[in-house]
Amino acid sequence: MRDLPFYGYKIFPFGRNDDSPRILKRYEISAMFPLSTCRIRQNLHNHTVFSDGSFTPARLVQESLNGGLDALGISDHFFTKKVFHRIDMAGWCSTVLPNYLQVAEETRKMEFENLKVWFGLEVDSCEVRLGCTIAQLPWPELNRLDYLLFEYVGETGIGGLPLERLEELRQFARVPIVLAHPNPENWEETLPLNRVFDILRKCGVALELPGGTRNPWPWTGRGSGPTSESGSESGSESGSEKCAGAGAGAGREAGLLKNVPLMIGCDTHERIEDLCAIGRVLAFIEQNGLLEQLTDPERLAPKWGGNP
pLDDT for 242: 37
Cβ-contact 93, 87 below 8 angstroms: no
CB 112 within 8 A of CB 159: no
- Side-chain-side CA neighbours of 21 within 13 Å: the count stands at 8
Q: pLDDT tens, 112-135?
A: 989 999 999 999 999 999 999 999
Output the CA torsion sign for 264, 168, 300, 221: positive
What percent of the chain lies above the pLDDT cut of 90? 72
Q: How many alpha carbons fall within 13 Å on the CB side of residue 237? A: 20
87: pLDDT strictly greater than 60: yes
CA distance 156 to 209: 21
Query: 22-32 and 279-287 are packed helices; what angle lies between their axes, rounded to 10 degrees?
Result: 10
Mean per-residue pLDDT for 26-49?
A: 72
Over 90: is that where the pLDDT of 24 sits? no
Q: Which residue has the higher pLDDT, 94 or 111?
A: 94
Instruction: Decide which of 220 and 272 is more confident.
Output: 272
CA of residue 214 relative to chain centroid, distance: 12
Distance CA(119)–CA(297), nearest Å, equals 10
Residue 95 is classified by DSSP as: H
Alpha-helix residue ranges (DSSP H) falling in the chain: 22-32, 57-67, 89-108, 127-130, 139-142, 169-172, 184-187, 193-203, 279-287, 297-304
Strand 219-220 to strand 206-210: parallel, antiparallel, or no bridges (unpaired)?
Answer: unpaired
- Residues 183-203 have pLDDT tens digits of 999 999 999 999 999 999 999
**pTM of the model as a whole:** 0.83
Enumerate helices (H) and strands (E) in the chain, giving the number of each: 10, 11
Q: What is the pLDDT of residues 202-236, one digit of tens each?
A: 999 999 999 999 999 999 876 556 653 333 443 33
Q: In the prediction, which pLDDT does 251 show?
A: 73
pLDDT tens digits, one per residue of 154-182: 999 999 999 999 999 989 999 999 999 99
Pair type for strands 252-253 and 219-220: parallel
Between CA 191 and CA 248 the distance in angstroms is 21
Please report the domains of the chain, with CATH numbers, ordered by start residue.
2-10+32-304 (3.20.20.140)
- Can you list the positions of beta strands (E) in the chain? 2-6, 9-14, 42-43, 71-77, 116-124, 147-151, 177-180, 206-210, 219-220, 252-253, 262-265
CA separation for the pair 259, 280 (Å, rounded): 21
Q: Which residues lie below 8 Å from residue 15, measured CB to CB, with a gap of 6+?
A: 1
40: amino acid identity, one letter: I
